[in-house]
Chains A and B, each alone.
Chain A
Amino acid sequence: MNAITENWIKIGQLSDIPKRGARCVQNGDMTIALFRSADDRVFALEDKCPHKNGPLSQGIVHDGCVTCPLHNWVISLETGQAQGADEGETLSFPVKLDGNDILLELRRINNGKK
């Protein structure tokens, strides 16, 4: 397999996700949360808070971040990094819009760790 080969998968339409909301995509055992910001940008994170694995897709979306529903950690939608005094990182995935179609790239972004 060629590491450069891009593997964009169409997973749905922008209108499938409510503004400032999220939907989940099931990829084998892994759940990926797709977020739509107030300004219609789309982000993809593993649906797992770095703190205690809370489902981030269930959180409140605000200003480029999501607040985990279990213990209120705030996670950056762009980088997956915990904000403020908390430390941790959730896997993030490349995602892009082609018109109204949402395309997800399942090759993991290497964030330099792990």
Chain B
Amino acid sequence: MTQKLVIIGNGMSPGRMLEHLFEEDASAYDVTIFNAEPRVNYNRLMLSPVLSGEKTYEDIITHDDAWYDTNNVTLHKGAKVTEINKTNKTVTSETGITAAYDKLIIATGSTPFIIPLPGHDLEGVLVYRDLDDVDAMLKATQSKGRAVVIGGGLLGLEAAAGFNARGMDVTVLHLMPTLMERQLDPAAGYLLEKAIKDKGIEVLTEVNSKEILGKNGKVTGIKLDDGTVIDAKIIVMAVGIRPSAALAQTIDIDCNRGILVNDKMETSEEDIYALGECVEHRGECYGLVAPLYEMGKVLAKNLCGGDEEFTGSVTATKLKVTGIDLFSAGDFAESADREEIVLRDATQGIYKRLVLKDNRIIGAVQFGETSDGTWFFDLLKKQTDISEMRDSLIFGQAYQGGASLDPMQAVAALPDDAEICGCSGICKSTIVTAIQDNNLTSLDEVRSHTKASASCGTCTGLVEQLMSLSLGDSYDPSKVAAVCPCTDLGHDDVRRLIKVKELKSIPAVMQELEWKTSCGCAKCRPALNYYLVSDWPGEYEDDYQSRFINERVHANIQKDGTYSVVPRMWGGMTTSDELRAIADVVDKFDIPAVKVTGGQRIDMLGVQKKDLPAVWADLGDAGFVSGHAYAKGLRTVKTCVGTDWCRFGTQDSTGFGIRIEKFMWGSWTPAKLKLAVSGCPRNCSEATCKDIGVICVDSGYEIHFGGAAGLEIKGTELLGHATSEEEALEYIAALTQLYREQGHYLERIYKWLNRIGLEEIRREILNDHEGRKALFGRFVYSQEFAQKDPWSERVSGKDKHEFKPMASFGLEAAE
């Protein structure tokens, strides 16, 4: 009969253990998991990128609900186990669920240490451990203000960088003289402190906190030993963890700091194992993922009758803060019988130090440039005698044995058992074999087959080099992703082939480019429709069934299925008549909400779909046209009042903004396109974070582009300077046309700029005069077909099927 395996805890180590277990023998156990957190298994190492906004929770899920289904694992979410009955062999959760076991694994993880300062229980004092903590932190970041992080170790600094990336002021308080003193020597700690401060984070070392201050139960600041008070909206304690052994202690399992286990991961109690951060093994408690994964592997084998032993691990540390490269491993304290090799490059902020004993590396610290970390760590773990290469050792692997500096050579030279992925303990030969045996061709495939580069991701470059090495020219790390699962082609190829093969309809594209589905999907059809609209003006007939609903009905769908209506207000200017007409429409159609938008116009929200044509008819009578607030196309041109009114204005920014908007409205672009014109460098219309922005100066018009103020925040790049409105308009239209012709569908102009490069775009617009005029000409030509007001077309009856039900009947027919 299948044995029952119960696991208490659903962190990374039991998750990995189960993967190994199912690989060994998928049917050996009926598995039940109790998770105190109300969710599936996710990659805790990646909480910092979630905090900083570089990833979302969905990105870091390791096992989704389907995984538990597929593997027949019963997962009790939000069920903290409070009782183990070793006589009856059952466990019971706080929520009253009881499960019987034949084998039990305790994987309760660790608990963050909370300094018992006065005020530590105030609202706003957090630890940094799980997704709930991150959610609480993210909530705090919405109100800006200052975050104080107590503890300048790995987690504390990652939390600080996350708050910093979210736009908060941050102060790090650290008890010791240098940051991360357990993993770094003072020199590297100094460089780290400098790099952290360069990000705008305040770092105070050798400080001790005395009291957390609060008001109405909420934290307001922190008082230090020396009397200094720092205001704070949120305080995060990241001063260490301790194993969670309390549950094990209730049934008298032997514990010290953590739950004691032997090399087979057995506790003092028969049939009860422990795993992960809650255990103490040979006097060590581990907090990094590599040894925990190693334990999981050993335990999985032993549960299937194996005889594996875990003998402890040497661990290496990498900091996951964007822009800071740091690697450390082993022991680097100074001592009489040790020698060291140090390399410093002050201008580049590079510091490397190797600590040697008996011609073997016992410690390595690298800052600023860490590409040889894997190699040093490999030499350290194998205790390789380095006397032969001692002279050039510090320069890294590429300099050994006269080998070339090509990084591919360096990877090729690595021995088969060199560890590539430190988190998962995956060596070179495992990856190479997996690539060859399974014909893997993409990084994602390698990740899912081997787990290499799937945790913290710092070894991605190495894995890609191994793929190049194994696959030769057929693997291109810069290989573009396919448009969607309906095709293997990327956006660039599709666009090029549409032009070369003169494909002028969606069915033609799908046939000629061998689409794998009969009529595409919701990803590729809108993309193809845009490419055809953009490439064949006047010839291609717009396929409305391939447009997203907003562009199909020329309004913005809202969460309740109603729509919002935004009429154009040229350059943000309006009149009393226009405002009166809007007021009348709002009253007549009982429109529940009216809002002023960021693009200087008025949004009417909550309009019923069936009312849209009548709303548009009334607005049309007052002279309004569609504002295209729903379009992947020209949205608004925001302006300031310029020389008309402003005492600082240098040009007629309002008039020029209106001129641009009247010239460009109706044009479709890969993604939305928002413009602004400011009358002077004070920039009241915020032109330097727009897709295209104009800053008027005495001598003319500075044309900027590629700004972003949404998911990302980015200032614009300067395209060039124009001396007249005509010249400026030509630059702007030519730039827009280049983006229309090269952009990938849904790619904002700043991403297109990143991909193509500023120099190349400048060359095409500024230096190549004929090319620019041709681009301008193509834009003007396509506007002939694009500038039809979609609202008046629909008032006149176009697409009327969209706006009324096909049939209505009451209850008598429904019966």
Interface residues of A (CB under 8 A from B): 1, 7, 9, 11-12, 16-21, 23-28, 31, 34, 38, 52-55, 58-63, 67, 69-70, 72, 74, 85, 87, 106
The residue that B521 contacts in the complex, of A27, A58, A62, with Cβ under 8 A, is A62
Q: How many A-B residue pairs have CB under 8 A?
A: 96
- Determine whether B588 belongs to the interface, using a CB cutoff of 8 Å to chain A: no
A-B contact pairs, 14 of them (CB 8 A): A17-B806, A20-B519, A23-B806, A25-B807, A25-B809, A52-B559, A58-B561, A63-B517, A69-B548, A70-B559, A72-B522, A85-B66, A106-B814, A106-B815
The residue that B811 contacts in the complex, of A1, A9, A21, A28, with Cβ under 8 A, is A28
Task: Check A61/B545 contact, CB under 8 A, given A16-B801, A23-B801.
Answer: yes
- Determine whether B810 belongs to the interface, using a CB cutoff of 8 Å to chain A: yes
CB proximity of A10 to chain B, nearest CB, Å: 8
Interface residues of B (CB under 8 A from A): 64-66, 517-522, 525-526, 544-546, 548-550, 552-553, 557, 559, 561, 801, 805-811, 813-815
Q: Which residues of B contact A19 (CB under 8 A)?
A: 545
Q: Which residues of A contact B811 (CB under 8 A)?
A: 28
**B518 x A28 contact (CB < 8 A):** no
Q: Which residues of A contact B548 (CB under 8 A)?
A: 60, 69
Task: Check A55/B545 contact, CB under 8 A, given A18-B801, A26-B807.
Answer: no
Task: Check A60/B814 contact, CB under 8 A, given A12-B806, A23-B805, A26-B809.
Answer: no
The residue that A26 contacts in the complex, of B546, B805, B815, with Cβ under 8 A, is B805
**A25 x B525 contact (CB < 8 A):** no
**A11 x B521 contact (CB < 8 A):** no
Q: Which residues of A contact B526 (CB under 8 A)?
A: 60
Q: Which residues of A contact B544 (CB under 8 A)?
A: 18
**A24 x B806 contact (CB < 8 A):** yes
**B64 x A85 contact (CB < 8 A):** yes
Closest to A47 in B: B561
CB proximity of A106 to chain B, nearest CB, Å: 5
Complexed CA–CA distance, A63 and B518 (Å): 7
Complexed CA–CA distance, A45 and B289 (Å): 48
Q: Which residues of B contact A20 (CB under 8 A)?
A: 519, 545-546
List 6 A-B pairs, minimum CB-CB distance, nearest first.
A67-B522, A26-B808, A23-B806, A58-B549, A60-B522, A11-B807
**A1 x B810 contact (CB < 8 A):** no
A18-B545, A59-B549, A60-B521 are known; give 6 further A-B pairs, CB within 8 A. Answer: A9-B809, A53-B561, A58-B557, A60-B549, A70-B559, A85-B66
Q: Which residues of B contact A69 (CB under 8 A)?
A: 548-550, 557
CB proximity of A87 to chain B, nearest CB, Å: 8
Q: Which residues of B contact A58 (CB under 8 A)?
A: 549, 552-553, 557, 561
Task: Check A21/B807 contact, CB under 8 A, given A9-B813, A59-B522.
Answer: no
CB proximity of B745 to chain A, nearest CB, Å: 14
Q: Which residues of A contact B801 (CB under 8 A)?
A: 16-18, 21, 23
Q: Which residues of A contact B65 (CB under 8 A)?
A: 85, 87
Q: Which residues of A contact B553 (CB under 8 A)?
A: 58
**B814 x A27 contact (CB < 8 A):** yes
CB proximity of B764 to chain A, nearest CB, Å: 34
Complexed CA–CA distance, A98 and B520 (Å): 28
Closest to A102 in B: B806
**A21 x B522 contact (CB < 8 A):** no
Complexed CA–CA distance, A27 and B809 (Å): 5
CB proximity of B700 to chain A, nearest CB, Å: 44
Q: Which residues of A contact B814 (CB under 8 A)?
A: 27-28, 106
Complexed CA–CA distance, A16 and B806 (Å): 7
Chain B contact residues: helix, strand, loop or mixed: mixed
Task: Check A34/B519 contact, CB under 8 A, given A19-B545, A20-B545.
Answer: no
**A25 x B806 contact (CB < 8 A):** yes
CB proximity of B558 to chain A, nearest CB, Å: 9
CB proximity of A28 to chain B, nearest CB, Å: 5
CB proximity of B146 to chain A, nearest CB, Å: 35
**B808 x A25 contact (CB < 8 A):** yes
Q: Which residues of B contact A74 (CB under 8 A)?
A: 522
CB proximity of B500 to chain A, nearest CB, Å: 26
Complexed CA–CA distance, A99 and B805 (Å): 21
CB proximity of A34 to chain B, nearest CB, Å: 6
**B546 x A55 contact (CB < 8 A):** no
The residue that A21 contacts in the complex, of B525, B545, B805, B809, with Cβ under 8 A, is B545
Q: Which residues of B contact A52 (CB under 8 A)?
A: 559
CB proximity of B751 to chain A, nearest CB, Å: 20
CB proximity of B668 to chain A, nearest CB, Å: 17
Complexed CA–CA distance, A54 and B559 (Å): 7
**B805 x A24 contact (CB < 8 A):** yes
CB proximity of A58 to chain B, nearest CB, Å: 4
Complexed CA–CA distance, A89 and B549 (Å): 22
Q: Which residues of B contact A72 (CB under 8 A)?
A: 522
Closest to B69 in A: A87
Complexed CA–CA distance, A62 and B528 (Å): 14
Complexed CA–CA distance, A23 and B545 (Å): 12
**A106 x B813 contact (CB < 8 A):** yes
Q: Which residues of B contact A106 (CB under 8 A)?
A: 813-815
Closest to A85 in B: B66
Q: Which residues of A contact B550 (CB under 8 A)?
A: 69
Q: Which residues of A contact B545 (CB under 8 A)?
A: 18-21, 60-61
Complexed CA–CA distance, A55 and B522 (Å): 15
Task: Check A54/B561 contact, CB under 8 A, given A19-B545, A28-B814, A60-B525.
Answer: yes
Closest to A54 in B: B561
Complexed CA–CA distance, A77 and B548 (Å): 18
CB proximity of A70 to chain B, nearest CB, Å: 7
Task: Check A62/B806 contact, CB under 8 A, given A17-B801, A19-B545, A27-B814.
Answer: no
Complexed CA–CA distance, A6 and B769 (Å): 72
Complexed CA–CA distance, A60 and B559 (Å): 17
Q: Which residues of B contact A60 (CB under 8 A)?
A: 521-522, 525-526, 545-546, 548-549
Q: Which residues of A contact B66 (CB under 8 A)?
A: 85
Complexed CA–CA distance, A61 and B520 (Å): 9
Q: Which residues of A contact B549 (CB under 8 A)?
A: 58-60, 69
Determine which residue in B517, B544, B549 has the highest number of CB atoms from chain A within 10 A of its CB, and name it.
Answer: B549
Complexed CA–CA distance, A23 and B805 (Å): 6
Closest to A66 in B: B522
The residue that A34 contacts in the complex, of B522, B525, B806, with Cβ under 8 A, is B806
Determine which residue in B65, B544, B807, B814 has the highest number of CB atoms from chain A within 10 A of its CB, and name it.
Answer: B807
Complexed CA–CA distance, A52 and B801 (Å): 25
**A28 x B557 contact (CB < 8 A):** no
**B809 x A38 contact (CB < 8 A):** no
Task: Check A1/B815 contact, CB under 8 A, given A55-B561, A62-B520, A69-B557.
Answer: yes
